[in-house]
Amino acid sequence: MFHSSRTADTPSSEQPAPLSIAVLIPCLNEARSIAKVVRDFKTQLPQASIYVFDNNSADGTGQVAHEAGAIVFSEARRGKGYVVQSMFERVDADIYLMVDGDDTYPAENVLQLLAPVLQGEADMTIGSRIIQGSSSEFKPVNFMGNIFFQNLINFIFGTHLTDILSGYRCMVRKLVKNLPLFVTGFEIEAEITIKSLERGFRLLEVPVNLRSRGEGSQSKIRIVRDGLRILGTIFALFRDYKPLTFFGSLGLVTILLGILPGIRAILGYIETGLVEKFPSAILSVGMILTGLLFIMVGLILHTLNRRFREMEHFLRVLSEDSQPSRR
């Protein structure tokens, strides 16, 4: 049994309360693998409650999961993002462990994911399929997509993560209950990662070896459509969380491009004393003003963002004060 490391408010004679662990498994048509996943996690974490969130699977996933000993919830809205939102809202626990139902993530690594969270060293551990020390069976296109998104997020947010999209994560309650999640599909992991980083939660990656899906098991991800949705989400979060960098860079590029036609008009004026290249001059002024407008928008949103963060902080303090103390 795992015990809380929280001792400050626990009288020395009392045993700290055992921490409750919830294993959350989003599932859509995973009847071939779900019983094994439930059993494997029950073996590794006998004290944990296992929850399977099903979207009316056509192959009886819910029934198979129930028979294997999981608590099955049904989610009406189709999409992994909706399911994760629903899991975070409906399940109550101290520690949350999220994993896919397709038996591609190894249950054997679960204690490595749990340990840093239990010891208070991380608020979220991510099972990284790409970090040095792991040897994963990736489809080449999935691997390339992961590397692309990894580099994009590290560049934009200044992080050093290796696996942004992993579905194998361990999280503390505070993180799970404080992340406003809105995306509906496979963009959910990118949203969880970026919003956790922006709220100052501590993330730690643990190497895991991804296995291929079993024979006859169908992937739910559609590479082009879902890839574009992940890209759109990353840019939307970039715009929302770093507006000055987003609009500022846009503004600077527009200004620099606007200077080029302006140079032509100025050189002509120096030569002849007349503004002969009128279209270039108008284009240049228009672009420079647009660039300045972008920078102004960035500054305004940046200030608003800071004030919203202060509000969010006060709201969190208020809600923590009104709740019984938990980890």
Ligand X SMILES: Nc1nc2c(ncn2[C@@H]2O[C@H](COP(=O)(O)OP(=O)(O)OP(=O)(O)O)[C@@H](O)[C@H]2O)c(=O)[nH]1
- Closest contact distance (angstroms) between CB of 284 and ligand X is 47
CB-neighbour burial class of residue 15 (10 A; exposed 0-12, middle 13-18, buried 19+): exposed
Torsion of CA 5, 7, 13, 17, to 10 degrees: -50
Site size for ligand X, by CB under 6 A? Answer: 22
Q: Which position among 23, 62, 101, 175 is part of the footprint of ligand X (CB under 6 A)?
A: 101
How many C-beta neighbours within 10 Å does residue 104 have? 23
From the DSSP assignment, how many helices (H) and strands (E) are in the chain?
10, 7
Residues that bind Mg ion (CB under 5 A): 100, 102, 104
Near ligand X by CB under 6 A: residue from 55, 128, 150, 254: 55
* One residue of 219, 303, 319, 325 binding ligand X per CB under 6 A: 219
Based on C-alpha coordinates, what's the Rg of the chain? 25
The answer to whether 104 touches 210, Cβ cutoff 8 Å, is yes
DSSP-based three-state secondary structure for 23: strand
Work out whether 28 is an interface residue with ligand X (CB under 6 A). Answer: yes
Binding-site member from 78, 222, 225, 313 for ligand X (CB under 6 A): 78
Query: Of residues 102-161, which lie at the interface with ligand X (CB under 6 A)?
Result: 102, 104, 142
Q: Which is nearer to Mg ion, 199 or 213 (CB)?
A: 213
Span near ligand X by CB under 6 A; candidates 8-16, 76-84, 117-125, 291-299: 76-84
Q: Which residue has the tokens 């996933």?
A: 61
Summarize as ranges the residues that interact with ligand X (CB under 6 A). 26-28, 30, 53-55, 75, 78-80, 83, 100-102, 104, 142, 167, 213, 219-221
